[in-house]
Structure 1
Amino acid sequence: MQRIYIITVLLCAFSLITNASSKIKPNVLFITVDDMNWNSIGAYGCDIPDITPNIDRLAESGLRFEHAYVQASNCSPSRSVFQTSRYPHQSGMRGFFYVDAGFKTLPELLKENGYTTGVINKAADSSLSPDFAKYWDVNLKFKDAEKRSAASYGQQLEDFFIAVKNAKQPFYCVVNVADPHKPFFNDLKSKKQGFDAFKPSKIYKEEEVDVPAFLPDAPMVKNEVLNYFNSVKRGDDCVGAILKVLAKSEYKENTIVIFVSDHGMPLPFAKSSVYPNGIRTPWIVSWPNHIEAGSVNTDNLISAVDFMPTVLDMSGVKMPSGMEGLSFHKALQGKAVSSSEYVFGQFDENAGGIPRPSRTVLSKKYGYVFNAWATGQYPFKCSADSYATHKYMKAQSASKPAVKERLEHWVYRSVEELYDYEKDPDALNNLINDPNYQTVAEQLRKELMKQMQATNDYVLPAFRVRHDKDALNKWMQEEEQKSIHRSEKLQWKRHKNRSGATKGHTQLFLL
């Protein structure tokens, strides 16, 4: 009888310990890389030997989403979605200026619920307003070129862990790896800025890389692609240093690691576009003893709006109203989850404030694109204009008809585009006028219309007059004037914009 009593007591004690441990909030380590194409990673099919072993090991330890997207194809607008679960036109973060949001972001909610929050690198692009302390308990920066140093990322995470240990709270930490953002390793500008002092662990040769199908295959282009992949390698080195510090820490077993890229590679038809090479992202989640190692989700379409509700769900924090995304917590547990048949992406304006609004709706197979600016009067402008690939295309367009055709498409686009991404993943064949695809086009137009109405998209009036170029030009003229006004008044995240220096600007953008 006494033996039964002792066993009962022990079982009750074990139950109490188990219940208590199950209520311990998990830590969240959110790792982003800058400008890395989803398919530049070994786990996502890149065949360059040993290109991303650290990211690959992370995928082997957890779950890889095969159909994952960001909402925007440039830095600050894209990153804002992860922290808000709102589209850029809803949060106001459609450009590179600060906004005054009327809602609480992910780090704010986590802070209110007992988390220590931190950001390593790119605090401005991870925040809506310039009041960084509102979002982040710990804000760690790099000195000069150290943001290209793998060792520096490891040291910064160690410093963050010291702060967390003193706070005695669970943490949410965003680590933003600078690579493979321009300038690439071995670019002239990279050498001048001292970035090349930090070499990737392996340096590739031209014969080891291939030019993507959406770019012209020429020596000048291939050299830039080579420099990009060497920067991908260095970015993976940085991820490895971060994961090594975590593995040696006391937080290893109770930390959810989430890895993404903010958008595609910084070359034409990728970054700053709404094609898959612009908005498709690698998305890996690892959580010891919770997520089956080496699992792959091919069923669901997931996008950046789903990040915040998923993290809140995993953290046991009450969901606020106003979020656009869905929690994929159950999918991480290997359970079936219903999700939308479509994801939506956008581009609004470049870092200098020049508006070129585009919208897209994608299914697993098709993608429809609306370019409000593509009337022939508003050439596309972005940072890639000053890079080697764009310069090559511009220089060779007079003598090479195929290059000229691609350049003109990049610069002027079409008001409407339609692609069969299953057959044409690089968006090379616009099917918008193909009679065999008119049913598909009309269905996707309807889906985009519903989305724009539901999210109060400022581009909706232009979409309604998409067949009238005069009306589109008038709408664009109005947007140009609004953008000039913003550039002259608002507080910007960059030191200059289309109107010049931004120093001294104090106003925040209000919806």
Structure 2
Amino acid sequence: MLKNVRIIVLLLVLWSGPGCRQTKPEPELKRPNILFVISDDQSFAHTSFSGSKFVNTPAFDRVAREGVYFAGCIAGSPGCAPSRSSIVTGRYPWQNEQSGQHASSWLKKYVPFIDELEKAGYSTGRTGKGVGPFQYAGNTNDSLWRVTNAGGMVHSEISYDKKDRSNLEGYADKISGTDYFGNFKYFIENVRKDRPFFFWYGAHEPHRPYEKGSWKRMGKHLEDAEVPGFLPDNDEIRGDLLDYAVEVEWFDRHLGDILQYLEDIGELDNTIVIVTSDNGKPFPRAKANSYEYGIHVPMAIRYPEKFPGGRVIKDPISFVDIAPTILEIAGKGPGDMMPVTGKSFLDILTSNEEGYVKGENAYAFSGRERHSSSRYENRGYPQRAIRSRDFLYIWNMRPERWPAGAPRKFDPEDTLQLLPVNGIGDDGKYIPQSAYTDIDDCPAKTYLLEHAGDTDIKPFLDLAVDKRPEFELYAINTDPYCLENLAGMPEFAEEETRLKKELLSELKRTKDPRVVGPDTEIFDRYKRYSPIRKFPKPDNFF
């Protein structure tokens, strides 16, 4: 009996010894969730963090204050579809064929980084506006087209009862009825399961149209609006800007609800929050233009555990860099994606650096082709732009075309009848959707057109719609409104030469068809799936 006890004790000692001791396995590192938040048409200047006095964005401000604020974020394009294409592919719009062009088709081969996150074990979803407008596959016969939106599987079923305004503080009549926060919460509680998540919150705001005068119900004041130098300063313009602010604040309100919910369930600090916008504000000489207020957008990223917060990065950062950064965060390669052009900036996020950190020769690139249907034979207005620390250089590749669209079109009710020049009828009123249709119809546009005969207003209309020189150069730190073209001036010749060389080099490197061919006009022939307008030949406008 004693012998048996000794054997048992010896076995226990050996089991617990260095060679056989059972040790608790190391816990698997918890991969961070990723919340990607994008508004629709918001310029860089319009957050309270950046100093705006008429736009209040406490949720964005929190992300920027506790995270990293990128003061020089440059969108892939001044238009939504090509810019969003740039985000999810990590490629410039001109590299993505029709899948980089407004209202064309999305080909299967342009795999978004979101697909790769799904393969890596992330639960993915979105609410609101995804990657569009694009035409996706309608049925199985569309063998070349992608079936689902490139922004992920949609969860937008939960909507507001617009008749019940009791819980809709800050709501205006033209705002989307989608309950972005409600859909996010549903995704977390019913779809996510036990996996890390990637979720795309794509607001429809502040895209037009707006409820005119909504600012009056929100307690805003005309004197608070800040009018940019490319628009006249009067009550009509100020009111339009305040209506825009109402929609930006609605977008931010939902972001705030999402952040609070994540905090309540203990997930916020394990969630990388990225907030930006697809392009600039929908006003004349902003959206659909490669000027500062068209391509310079807000961006902030928060992840206190790994990204030291309270920092401002001033270098130009490009949309093509977002995809490789997110992939590196997730520990995932590009997989089935087309070759990625952008470079990860995870090293900046994890550093303690701030200010200018990338060296003097840091650049971001942007470009556009077609925006809306706005010219004869559905032609676009091709632009390519390079942004440095101090300058913005724009190449208007077809300067003979009207940058904001043709000044007149055929009557959609009678396609043999031309509507009046500038869209102004005999009564002196603007006819909706009748001229310069790359500018969204809005009170600011209407005011410029209806007052074009006023000597103090005509210069602002000219800035928005007149033909432009082939090259434009702006010192954006002293001229953020891009009003003084420095191209061709001897004192800026060295800077212009340098930027032109860098721009051309990047366009050649990325095989831009406008530069390297073989078909330099291919962008104008991609099919557009949104409505087509009819315009006269360019020599028959007047």
TM (norm. structure 1) is 0.81
Q: Are residues 1:315 and 2:345 paired?
A: no
* Shift, 1:338, TM fit: 4.1
Which of 72, 81, 90 in structure 2 is aligned with 1:76? 81
CA contact (8 A) 1:275 1:427 kept: yes
Aligned length: 454
Write the distance in 2 (CA, Å) between the matches of 1:497 and 1:413: 25
Partner of 1:231: 247
Inter-CA distance 421–404: structure 2 relative to 1 (3 Å threshold): same
Deviation track 1:311-368 (CA, whole Å, cap 9, x = no partner) reads 0111111245711111111211125564761111111111335411111111010111
Which of 109, 125, 135 in structure 2 is aligned with 1:118? 125
Inter-CA distance 389–149: structure 2 relative to 1 (3 Å threshold): closer
Q: Are residues 1:154 and 2:172 paired?
A: no
Q: Answer with 117-126 or 258-267: which moved more.
A: 117-126
Question: Structure 2: which amino acid aligns with 1:57?
Answer: R
Write the distance in 2 (CA, Å) between the matches of 1:178 and 1:432: 37
Question: Structure 1: which amino acid aligns with 2:506?
Answer: Q
Which of 166, 169, 178 in structure 1 is aligned with 2:195? 169
Deviation track 1:81-140 (CA, whole Å, cap 9, x = no partner) reads 110000111112122212214343201111111111111112352878444547566411
Deviation track 1:215-236 (CA, whole Å, cap 9, x = no partner) reads 1112221221121122222222
* Shift, 1:378, TM fit: 6.8
Partner of 1:328: 345
Q: Which runs of 5+ in 1 are unaligned?
A: 1-5, 188-195, 463-473, 501-511
Q: Are residues 1:38 and 2:82 paired?
A: no
Question: Structure 1: which amino acid aligns with 2:310?
Answer: G
Q: Are residues 1:95 and 2:122 paired?
A: no
Question: Structure 2: which amino acid aligns with 1:455?
Answer: T
Q: Are residues 1:345 and 2:361 paired?
A: no
CA contact (8 A) 2:67 2:311 kept: yes
Which of 484, 496, 501 in structure 2 is aligned with 1:446? 501
Partner of 1:407: 461
CA contact (8 A) 2:67 2:303 kept: yes
Question: Structure 2: which amino acid aligns with 1:498?
Answer: R
CA contact (8 A) 2:514 2:520 kept: no
Write the distance in 1 (CA, Å) between the matches of 2:512 and 2:67: 36
Secondary structure of the corresponding residue to residue 272 of structure 1: coil
Deviation track 1:29-50 (CA, whole Å, cap 9, x = no partner) reads 00111111111101112133x7
Write the distance in 2 (CA, Å) between the matches of 1:309 and 1:325: 7
Structure number, greater radius of gyration: 2
CA contact (8 A) 2:381 2:401 kept: no
Deviation track 1:360-391 (CA, whole Å, cap 9, x = no partner) reads 11101011111123225676344525222122
CA contact (8 A) 2:225 2:242 kept: yes
Q: Alignment RMSD, CA only?
A: 3.2
* Shift, 1:255, TM fit: 1.0
Inter-CA distance 414–135: structure 2 relative to 1 (3 Å threshold): closer
Write the distance in 2 (CA, Å) between the matches of 1:144 and 1:77: 30
CA contact (8 A) 1:150 1:234 kept: no
CA contact (8 A) 2:53 2:224 kept: no
Secondary structure of the corresponding residue to residue 28 of structure 1: strand
Partner of 1:276: 292
Write the distance in 2 (CA, Å) between the matches of 1:425 and 1:311: 30
Deviation track 1:117-173 (CA, whole Å, cap 9, x = no partner) reads 11111235287844454756641125589794699222111111023443x221111
Inter-CA distance 128–292: structure 2 relative to 1 (3 Å threshold): farther
* Shift, 1:292, TM fit: 2.1
Question: Structure 2: which amino acid aligns with 1:31?
Answer: V
Sequence identity (%): 26
Q: Which runs of 5+ in 2 are unaligned?
A: 1-15, 138-145, 163-173, 406-435, 536-542
Q: Answer with 261-270 or 221-230: which moved more.
A: 221-230
Partner of 1:105: 112
Inter-CA distance 235–333: structure 2 relative to 1 (3 Å threshold): same
CA contact (8 A) 1:201 1:234 kept: no
User: Relative to total residues, which structure has the larger helix share, 1 or 2?
Assistant: 1
Question: Structure 1: which amino acid aligns with 2:212?
Answer: N
Q: Answer with 135-144 or 267-276: which moved more.
A: 135-144
Inter-CA distance 443–461: structure 2 relative to 1 (3 Å threshold): same
CA contact (8 A) 2:82 2:102 kept: yes
CA contact (8 A) 1:66 1:297 kept: yes
* Shift, 1:461, TM fit: 6.4
Write the distance in 1 (CA, Å) between the matches of 2:207 and 2:486: 32
Which of 465, 473, 485 in structure 2 is aligned with 1:418? 473
Inter-CA distance 436–312: structure 2 relative to 1 (3 Å threshold): same
Secondary structure of the corresponding residue to residue 40 of structure 1: coil
Question: Structure 1: which amino acid aligns with 2:533?
Answer: R
Inter-CA distance 429–26: structure 2 relative to 1 (3 Å threshold): same
Partner of 2:540: none
Partner of 1:435: 490
Write the distance in 2 (CA, Å) between the matches of 1:210 and 1:54: 21
CA contact (8 A) 2:48 2:57 kept: yes
Inter-CA distance 251–13: structure 2 relative to 1 (3 Å threshold): farther
Secondary structure of the corresponding residue to residue 393 of structure 1: helix
Q: How does 1:296-315 map to 2 (within 5 A)?
A: 296-298=312-314, 300-315=315-330
Q: How does 1:149-298 map to 2 (within 5 A)?
A: 152-166=179-193, 168-186=194-212, 202-298=218-314
CA contact (8 A) 2:513 2:520 kept: no
